[in-house]
Structure 1
Amino acid sequence: MADALSKLLETRDWLMADGATGTNLFNMGLSSGDAPELWNVDQPEKIRTLYSYAVNAGSDIFLTNTFGGNASRLKLHDAQDRVRELNRIGAELGREVADASGRTVVVAGSVGPTGDIMAPMGSLTHELAVEMFHEQAEGLKEGGADILWLETISAPEEYKAAAEAFAMAGMPWCGTMSFDTAGRTMMGVTSEAMVSMVEKLPNPPLAYGANCGVGAADLLRTVLGFAAQGVERPIIAKGNAGIPKYEDGHIHYDGTPELMADYAVMARDCGATVIGGCCGTMPEHLGKMREALETRPRGPRPTLDTIAATLGGFSSATDGTGDDADAPKRSRGGRRRRG
């Protein structure tokens, strides 16, 4: 039986994903430093509301509130023995919202990085990473997630470990990396290198791409890097709503709904099939993105100059692939933060 995402991809040439998790939850009262996953049990109505934001704005896919739901991250909150429970309930709440929507909405079980550094640089072995990802995957599967969604990964070794774990769980999956360091991931992966890695996996994702990073312009440059490889696998674009700024003790993103509407259309024209937002992306952004995708015709593939003129310059002169040394650069930048 084909999974829900594959069925949608057969009938549509673009799909809209969701927006921010953390930004929305902070607005609901989550305190910095708290584990959002605990809210799956302690504040289920707020998590239903989070999911409903995306569905009501027109998202075809939304991610569960389980980004940090692995044993390593949950250990920071003395909840490492609750991995299966928190992931299962996070997916169950999502299943409720999706099934009540009256249309096909894909529940994607969010799986973030472990927070540990892979061996030999760090202490996280491949076997332990697979075990942690598998435990989380089984919880999401029990809760009724349609697919698993690996996101904000920097290390190729961690991406590969997750792929192996998802195969053990028998679940289809998608996977994105975060290109936040001069167009590369923190561990040095370029868009070109990611495509090569994905295509060599024994259990490749249904779709792959980039999320978070620095800003929408940088992310679209990465999408162009994926598309240049000529791979037919669907590309995912989940960019931040502008650039993070620290104001009055809080992180704010300066991207307007109108800017994110432009970003969504440009992401599609750059070659992305699954288009959503990451940090700072609120329901009002998603609504404008959906409207733009539905009403604006496809255009030519944007140039770097067009992207910079529309969304702002890039945070670095190059994306690491060597094809864009003359890319317009912006003077302001920001570091990624899961949102």
Structure 2
Amino acid sequence: MKRSLEQRLLEGPVICGEGYLFELERRGYVQAGSFVPEVALDYPEALKQTYRDYMLAGSDVVLAFTYNGHREKMRIIGKEDLLEPLNRQAIRLAKEVAKEHPVEEALVAGNISNTNLFDSNDKEGKETIRAMFAEMVTWSKEEGVDFVNGETFYYYEEAKIALEEIQKQGLPAVITLGLMSEGILRDGYTVQEACRLLEDQGALVVGMNCFRGPATMQPYIEKIRTSVNGYVGALPVPYRTTEEHPTLFNLPDGGCSCTLPTETTFPTSLDPLYCNRYELAEWAKKAKGIGVNYFGLCCGASPSMLREVAETVGRTAVNSVYSPNMEKHFLFGSDESLKANNTAYRTKA
């Protein structure tokens, strides 16, 4: 029998591969802008391969790609009739891939996320949001997920509604918050206050994901770690955010020589602003050092980046056999069988 999420957390760090949204856009299967996961229905094999790539790179979890697959997003693109089929298909594909893990069957997580509808003063709107979460979590339960991941909430109260609907189905909950540049959730809570409340209300894992890169997320993760007793999750975006530009939404690119079609580098011109894998490893080392339990990377992450994080926190991925090893590189290698006239040329290459 495969271990539950809680059993795995008790035994050491858990890795969750996220980042499908940007990765599948990069591969040509998601439209930037609307960012709706229609790929689950249109190109199921492409989604399965993406799931597989992240799992083999170290993810303990195959997270069903239903981020933005909620009723509001489907309304905007005029495809509400595909809402349930999309959700069920994404979970079924995740279950198929999870069973392929050669060591231990991966966990499968349902996924709900920010609706972009929340208004603290709109009681009717809150019930609409509750109904949206309820149907998605019900489908997750019926399809047999191991837990539900509720993510990228920038209102505490919306996260609380999500948690309540997950609990109604008797499923473990991972709840992570997205923090914009103000450094406070939009309904006035600090992330550490919100995480403490969510933990008290029964979330198995609390923490942060998305919006912020390692440099600008880590200080808040440290506050969360000192404020809660249980498991803490951290899943930053792999971009070089700064104090001046703390989120990926407004990162400038001073080296760009063309006029961008968008107001900012987000979402399709962020490429030069990536952290490299060793910067991500340094972050993962710090995060593990303060007691983070649930690791991952969010929008923009590639499988090789996730593998670096997994290996840094002490895990060996299935595809760790393909981790970098420069010993046999023709120019920079150290193997004695390499041709000396090549290795001697490395400083002039």
Tell me the TM-score normalised to structure 2 length.
Answer: 0.77
CA apart distance, 1:91 = 0.7
Q: Structure 2 matches for 1:94-243, cutoff 5 A?
A: 94-102=94-102, 103-120=104-121, 122=122, 125-201=125-201, 204-229=202-227, 231-243=228-240
> Does residue 263 of the first structure (1) align with residue 268 of the second (2)?
no
Contact 1:118/1:157 (8 A) holds in 2: no
Distance in 1, matches of 2:179 and 2:111, equals: 18
CA deviation profile, 1:303-332 (whole Å, cap 9, x unmatched)? xxxxxxxxxxxxxxxxxxxxxxxxxxxxxx
Distance in 2, matches of 1:75 and 1:3, equals: 38
CA apart distance, 1:2 = 10
Distance in 1, matches of 2:308 and 2:2, equals: 31
Contact 2:91/2:143 (8 A) holds in 1: yes
Contact 1:264/1:276 (8 A) holds in 2: no
1:284 equivalent in structure 2: 304
Instruction: Rate the CA distance shift 1:215–1:188 in 2: closer, same or farther, 3 A.
Output: farther
Q: Percent of pairs identical after alignment?
A: 24
Amino acid at match of 1:239: P
Distance in 2, matches of 1:108 and 1:242, equals: 25
CA apart distance, 1:81 = 3.2
Question: Residue 251 of structure 1 is aligned with which of 256, 269, 275?
Answer: 269
Q: Structure 2 matches for 1:28-107, cutoff 5 A?
A: 28-29=27-28, 30-102=30-102, 103-107=104-108
Contact 2:234/2:295 (8 A) holds in 1: yes
Amino acid at match of 2:232: I
Instruction: Rate the CA distance shift 1:266–1:174 in 2: closer, same or farther, 3 A.
Output: same
Distance in 2, matches of 1:129 and 1:40, equals: 23
SS at match of 1:125: helix
Instruction: Rate the CA distance shift 1:3–1:158 in 2: closer, same or farther, 3 A.
Output: farther
CA apart distance, 1:108 = 1.5
Contact 1:73/1:115 (8 A) holds in 2: no
Amino acid at match of 1:217: A
Amino acid at match of 2:203: P
CA apart distance, 1:123 = 6.9
Contact 2:178/2:209 (8 A) holds in 1: yes
SS at match of 2:136: helix
Where structure 2 has 5 or more consecutive residues not aligned to the other structure, the ranges are 241-247, 261-267, 317-349
CA deviation profile, 1:40-86 (whole Å, cap 9, x unmatched)? 11110111011112111011123221011211121111222333221
Distance in 1, matches of 2:138 and 2:5, equals: 19
Amino acid at match of 1:183: G
Contact 2:114/2:151 (8 A) holds in 1: yes
Amino acid at match of 2:275: G
Question: Greater CA radius of gyration, 1 or 2?
Answer: 2
> Does residue 18 of the first structure (1) align with residue 17 of the second (2)?
yes
Distance in 2, matches of 1:124 and 1:271, equals: 40
Where structure 1 has 5 or more consecutive residues not aligned to the other structure, the ranges are 297-339
Distance in 2, matches of 1:168 and 1:115, equals: 23
Tell me the TM-score normalised to structure 1 length.
Answer: 0.79
CA apart distance, 1:117 = 2.3
Amino acid at match of 1:224: E
Distance in 2, matches of 1:234 and 1:261, equals: 20
**Aligned CA-pair RMSD:** 2.3
Instruction: Rate the CA distance shift 1:263–1:158 in 2: closer, same or farther, 3 A.
Output: same
SS at match of 2:12: coil
Q: Which runs of 4+ in 1 moved over 6 A?
A: none
Distance in 2, matches of 1:2 and 1:196, equals: 29
Instruction: Rate the CA distance shift 1:82–1:123 in 2: closer, same or farther, 3 A.
Output: farther
Distance in 2, matches of 1:176 and 1:147, equals: 14
Distance in 1, matches of 2:146 and 2:199, equals: 22
> How many residue pairs get matched?
291
Amino acid at match of 2:233: I
